[in-house]
Chain A
Amino acid sequence: MPTATSRSDRSAWVRDAVNRFERPLLSYARWLLRDSDKAADAVADTFARLCEKPPAATHNGELPKWLFTVCRHRAIDMLRKDKRMNPLSESAAAKIENTDRHSDPSDAIETADTTAAAMRALATLPGNQQEVVRLKFQHDMSYKDIAAVTGLTVTNVGYLLHKAIKTLRHEFNDE
Chain B
Amino acid sequence: MPAGEPELHDDPVLTAYALGELDEAESRAVRQRILGDDAANAYVQSVRETADTMRTAFADEPTASDAEVAQLHIKRADRTLRREAPKSLWRFANRYSAAAAVLLVGGLIVYSMTGNPPYEPVGADRSPGPPVATLIESTGHLTTPHAYPAEGSDYAAGEYKLDSGTAEFMTTDGRNVRLNGKSSVEFGADGRIISSSGDVTVTNPERIHSALKLGVIDSPYTAEQFQRDTERPLTPTDHPSISNQLGVAGPSHSYASPAPAEPPHIEPVERHPGHNTETYQHLADNAFKHVGNAPLSTFSIDVDTASYANVRRMLRQGQRPPAGAVRIEEFVNYFAYRYPDPVGPHPIASHVDIAACPWAPTHRLVRIGVQAKRIAHADRPPSNIVLLLDVSGSMSAANKLPLLKESVKMMVRELDERDSIAIVVYAGASGLVLPSTPAGSKDVIYAALDRLKSGGSTAGAAGIQLAYNIATQCFVKGGVNRVILATDGDFNVGISSDDALVRLIEDKRKSGVFLSILGFGMGNYKDAKMEKLSNAGNGNYAYIDTKAEARKALVEGLAGTLVTVAKDVKIQVEFNPARVASYRLIGYENRILAKEDFNDDTKDAGEVGAGHSVTALYEVVPVGAAPVRSAQQIDAEIQAIRTLMAVTDATGQWYDAQLARIAALEAERAVIVRRPARPAVDPLRYQHEAPAPKPGSTELLTVKMRYKQPDSNTSVKLTMPVVDRGADWRAANDDYRFAASVAAFGMILRNSPHKGNATLDQVLAWATAAERERANRDVKADPYRAEFIELVRTAQGIGVR
Contacts and interface: CB of A to CB of B under 8 A. Distances in A.
A115 B56 contact: yes
A94 B146 contact: yes
Contact of B122 (A106, A143, A151): A151
Chain B contact residues: over half helix, strand or loop, or mixed? Answer: loop
Interface residues of B, number: 73
Interface in B105-127: 108-126
Interface in B582-636: none
A153 B649 contact: yes
A137 B58 contact: yes
A5 interface: no
A72 to B, nearest CB: 6
A73 B399 CA distance: 63
A84 to B, nearest CB: 7
A34 B1 CA distance: 29
B54 A133 contact: yes
Interface stretch (B71-79, B187-195, B227-235, B262-270): B71-79
A109 B151 contact: no
B55 A26 contact: no
Interface string A130-174: 110110111000110000001111111011011001111110110
Contact of B54 (A48, A72, A94, A118): A118
Nearest to A159: B12
Interface in B469-510: none
Contacts of B69: 22-23, 26
B46 A103 contact: no
Given A48-B83, A94-B117, A94-B144, A106 B61 contact: yes
Contacts of A137: 51, 54-55, 58
B111 A34 contact: yes
A96 B138 contact: yes
A110 B68 CA distance: 21
Contact of A158 (B12, B53, B113): B12
Interface stretch (B13-21, B402-410, B527-535, B780-788): B13-21
Chain A contact residues: over half helix, strand or loop, or mixed? Answer: helix
Interface in A89-135: 92-98, 100-106, 109, 111-112, 114-115, 118-119, 122, 126-128, 130-131, 133-134
A92 B120 CA distance: 11
Contacts of B53: 114, 118, 168, 172
Nearest to A84: B117
A150 B116 contact: no
A169 B46 contact: yes
Contact of A155 (B46, B108, B141, B655): B655
Nearest to B140: A98
Nearest to B78: A44
Contact of A161 (B15, B76, B112): B15
A3 interface: no
B199 interface: no
B64 A23 contact: yes
Nearest to A32: B121
A36 B148 contact: no
Bin the interface of chain A by size: 35 or more
Given A22-B64, A22-B69, A23-B63, A127 B144 contact: no
Given A37-B71, A43-B72, A100-B119, A169 B113 contact: no
B651 interface: yes
Nearest to B123: A76
Given A95-B141, A162-B15, A168-B50, A40 B55 contact: no
A169 B147 contact: no
B128 interface: yes
B8 to A, nearest CB: 12
B60 interface: yes
B45 to A, nearest CB: 11
A153 B652 CA distance: 13
A27 interface: yes
Contact of B10 (A23, A131, A166): A166
Contacts of A105: 62, 109, 111
Contact of A166 (B7, B62, B78, B118): B7
Nearest to B58: A138
A127 B120 contact: yes
Contacts of A37: 71, 110
B649 A155 contact: yes
A75 interface: yes
Contact of A102 (B55, B57, B113): B113
Contact of B110 (A36, A44, A51): A36
Interface string B1-13: 1100001001111
Interface centre among B61, B75, B138 (most CB of A within 10 A): B61
A128 B332 CA distance: 50
A39 interface: yes
A26 B64 contact: yes
B143 interface: yes
Contact of B119 (A130, A156, A158): A130
A27 B120 contact: no
Interface in B54-106: 54-58, 60-64, 68-69, 71-72, 75-76, 78-80, 83
A63 B119 CA distance: 25
A168 B72 contact: no
Contact of A128 (B79, B119, B142): B119
Nearest to B110: A36
A95 B123 contact: no
A168 B62 contact: no
A30 B15 contact: no
Nearest to B48: A165
B698 interface: no
A17 interface: no
Contacts of B10: 166
B153 interface: yes
A87 B146 contact: yes
Contact of A34 (B61, B63, B118, B145): B118
The 4 closest A-B pairs by CB, nearest first: A127-B119, A151-B124, A34-B113, A26-B64
Given A30-B64, A115-B60, A151-B151, 10 more contacts: A36-B111, A37-B71, A76-B121, A97-B116, A100-B118, A114-B53, A128-B119, A162-B15, A166-B10, A169-B47
28 contacts: A26-B63, A30-B64, A33-B118, A34-B112, A34-B113, A35-B113, A40-B68, A44-B75, A44-B79, A48-B83, A85-B117, A94-B147, A95-B143, A102-B116, A105-B62, A105-B111, A106-B60, A115-B60, A150-B121, A151-B124, A152-B122, A156-B152, A158-B15, A162-B16, A168-B53, A169-B50, A170-B1, A172-B50
Interface of B: 1-2, 7, 10-13, 15-16, 19, 21, 46-47, 49-51, 53-58, 60-64, 68-69, 71-72, 75-76, 78-80, 83, 108-126, 128, 138-139, 141-148, 151-153, 649, 651, 655
